[in-house]
Amino acid sequence: MPCYSIQYNSIEFKAKHISLLIEAAKRLGYRPQHSGNLLYIDNTIRIFLDEQKAEVREDSQSKLNELKREYSKVGLEQISKKRKFILKMKEGQKFELRRY
């Protein structure tokens, strides 16, 4: 019998585009595994796509935050290409979209 337990926190995570989420995880060097309605990321994050909820180990909260930021960035890049905008990164996590 193990003498330890792993605590998971449940967090609202509204990610509707699985392809963008997988791309964001790969860019960060994570190994995403998609299985039905679940997306597993490095055995520390479980994302329930239909419930739009994520469960993350207590020691991996920073990974989830990093994934959220990268998911937003990948989404903005896709929109800017589709609509022919120029995406420029400002300071921190601020972006600017401009027409060609």
pLDDT at 92 over 80: no
Q: Does the pLDDT of residue 1 top 60, yes or no?
A: no
The answer to whether 72 and 23 are in contact (CB under 8 A) is: no
Backbone angles phi, psi at 69, to 5 degrees: -65, -45
Read off the pTM: 0.80
User: Looking at the predicted structure, is the pLDDT value of residue 31 above 60?
Assistant: yes
Collapse the DSSP code of 81 into the 3-class scheme (helix H, G, I; strand E, B; otherwise coil) and give the result: helix
